[in-house]
Every structure is written in structure tokens, then in C-alpha cells.
Amino acid sequence: MPEGPLHRGLLDTSVIVDLERLNPESLPLEWAVSAITMAELTAGPLAAADPEERARRQHRLQWVEGTFEAIPVDASVVRAYGLVYGAAQASGRKSRRRSFDLLIAATALAEQLPLFTRNPKDFEDLGSLIDVCPV
């Protein structure tokens, strides 16, 4: 990651989920999220069996929906997805099971934003395309 805080960055779903536990200095000054992250967060409450966890996930989803204007999956993201998918295939890693991660990476590429993630290994084969910032 470059020295000093970055002005703007795309937050991976893993960062949003752990946001309250993270050091704010490890994040960019301005946060962006992908529509794909919003989709993952929307499924979160439905996947929780525990009522308290379901409520926490619902609260997080509502906060994110009220805080961010999600970057849509538009034509530029779709074009970038081809590059990201190709890089993942060339590395030998399975791409189909990583579709959401690759779409988030494509959003970062299309928007020319660094990607902040708690799971940098998920994106290690894309290092030449996007700037992955471990948090």
C-alpha cells in the first residue's frame, strides 16, 4: 500500500463486515462500495440462523444502504470483468466460485480505485490489474 492515507478506495465486503473492528488509519479517506457488496450484504441476514446475528446483519445492511451510493455493474465493469476473469484463469485458480470477488475486483479496475480487503489472498492473482490493500 502506498505511504499515507489514500484519498478514495473501494471497500471489499470483508472490510464492511469488520468495519467497527478496523483501524480507520488503515482505510482510505473516502470509501466506495460496489453493488456486488450490497448484494452480498443483502443475503447476509437471510443466511443467519441466530436471531441476534440476523439483526446485526440487517442493521449493517441498513447502515450501508443509507451511507453509500453503490457503484453499479455497468458496461465499464463488465468489460473489466473480462480482464479480471482472464487473469484469474491464467493463474490456474478456479474463477467460477469466486464470481463475486472478481466482480468487486472488476469494479475497482473500472473505477481505477485501490481495493481494500481483509482477504488479500482472494485477489493475489490480480496484482498487475488492481492495487490490493490488505486491511
Using alpha carbons, select from 34, 65, 36, 61 the residue that is nearest to residue 48: 61
Model pLDDT, residue 95: 63
Domain ranges of the chain: 8-130
Task: Give the C-alpha distances (Å, rounded to integers) separating 39 from 33, 78, 96, 100.
Answer: 11, 16, 17, 9
Q: What pTM was computed for the model?
A: 0.89
Instruction: Identify the helix (H) or strand (E) that includes residue 10.
Output: strand 8-11
Model pLDDT, residue 50: 94
Lowest mean pLDDT among 4-8, 47-51, 65-69, 102-106: 4-8
Give the Cα separation of 33 and 10 in Å (integer): 5
CATH of domain 8-130: 3.40.50.1010
Kindly give the residue spans of alpha helices, DSSP state H, lying in 48-129.
Answer: 51-67, 75-90, 99-111
Give the Cα separation of 122 and 91 in Å (integer): 12
Give the Cα separation of 24 and 44 in Å (integer): 24
**pLDDT, averaged across the chain:** 91
* pLDDT digits 0-9 by tens, 43-93: 999 999 999 999 999 999 999 999 999 999 999 999 999 999 999 988 887
Q: What is the DSSP letter of 7?
A: S
